Chains A and B, each alone.
Chain A
Amino acid sequence: MSLDKDTIRKIAFLARIRVPEDALDGLAGELSNIIGWVEQLNEVDTEGVEPMTSVADMDWPRRDDEITDGGRAQDILANATDPEPAPGGEDGNGGGFFTVPKVVE
Chain B
Amino acid sequence: MTAFPELSIAAAGKGLEAGDFTAEELTRACIEALESGRDLNAFITETPDIALDRAKASDARRADGRAAGPMDGIPIAIKDLFCTEGVLTTAGSHILDGFTPAYESTVSANLKDSGAVMLGKTNLDEFAMGSANVTSYYGPVKNPWKGPGGKDLVPGGSSGGSAAAVAGGLCPGAIGTDTGGSIRQPASFCGIVGMKPTYGRCSRWGIVAFASSLDQAGPLTRTVEDAAIMLGAMAGHDAKDSTSAPIDVADFSAGLGEGVKGMKVGIPKEYTLDGMPAEVEALWRQGMDWLKGQGAECIDVSLPHTKYALPAYYIVAPAEASSNLARYDGVRYGLRVEGSTLDDMYEATRGEGFGDEVRRRVLIGTYVLSAGYYDAYYRQAQKVRTLIARDFTEAFEQVDVLLTPTAPSAAFAIGEKMDDPVAMYLNDVFTVPASMAGLPAISVPAGLDGDGLPLGLHLIAKPFDEVTLFRAASALEQAAGFDAKPGARPSTPQGGAS
Contact = CB atoms under 8 A, between A and B. Distances in A.
B462 to A, nearest CB: 12
A40 B315 CA distance: 12
B351 A19 contact: yes
Nearest to B351: A18
B435 to A, nearest CB: 9
A14 B366 contact: yes
A101 B359 contact: no
Interface string B414-432: 0000000110000000000
Contacts of B344: 101
Given A17-B362, A38-B314, A101 B345 contact: yes
Q: Which of B336, B364, B383 has the most CB of A within 10 A?
A: B383
Contact of B243 (A3, A54, A78, A103): A54
Nearest to B332: A80
Chain B, interface size category, equals 35 or more
Given A56-B199, A98-B331, A100-B342, A18 B350 contact: yes
Contact of B364 (A13, A16, A31, A79): A31
A52 B389 contact: yes
Nearest to A72: B102
A51 B386 contact: yes
Contacts of B239: 61, 63
Contact of B345 (A38, A60, A100): A100
A22 B386 CA distance: 40
Contacts of A16: 326, 329, 343, 346-347, 350
Contacts of A72: 102
Contacts of B346: 16
Given A61-B242, A100-B345, A11 B385 contact: no
A72 B381 CA distance: 41
**6 closest Cβ contacts across the A-B interface?**
A55-B438, A18-B351, A51-B382, A79-B333, A46-B383, A16-B346
Nearest to B378: A51
B486 to A, nearest CB: 34
Interface in B435-481: 436-438, 463
Interface in A44-62: 44, 46, 49-56, 58-61
B386 A37 contact: no
A52 B308 contact: no
Given A17-B359, A61-B246, A80-B333, A41 B351 contact: no
Interface string B328-339: 011111101011
B379 interface: yes
16 contacts: A11-B366, A16-B346, A17-B351, A27-B359, A31-B367, A37-B422, A41-B315, A46-B387, A54-B243, A58-B245, A60-B242, A72-B102, A80-B332, A81-B330, A98-B331, A101-B345
Interface in A7-27: 7-8, 11-20, 27
A81 B334 CA distance: 8
A35 interface: yes
Interface of A: 3, 7-8, 11-20, 27, 30-31, 33-35, 37-44, 46, 49-56, 58-61, 63, 72, 75-82, 98, 100-101, 103
A77 B333 CA distance: 8
Contacts of B102: 72, 75, 78
Nearest to A78: B102
A74 B354 CA distance: 27
Contacts of A8: 363
Contacts of A43: 308
A41 B438 contact: no
Contacts of B382: 51-53
Given A16-B343, A18-B348, A100 B331 contact: yes
A82 B307 CA distance: 49
Contacts of A49: 383, 386-387
B350 A34 contact: no
Given A17-B350, A30-B360, A51-B382, A56 B421 contact: no
Nearest to A58: B245
A80 B331 contact: yes
A63 to B, nearest CB: 7
A58 B307 CA distance: 28
B340 A101 contact: yes
B398 interface: no
B494 to A, nearest CB: 40
B305 interface: yes
A63 B315 CA distance: 32
A45 to B, nearest CB: 9
Q: Which of A18, A31, A75 has the most CB of B within 10 A?
A: A18
Given A7-B367, A15-B363, A50-B383, A44 B322 contact: no
Contact of B379 (A27, A30, A51): A51
Given A35-B364, A58-B200, A52 B332 contact: no
Contacts of B326: 15-16
B421 A60 contact: no
Given A38-B311, A56-B245, A101 B370 contact: no
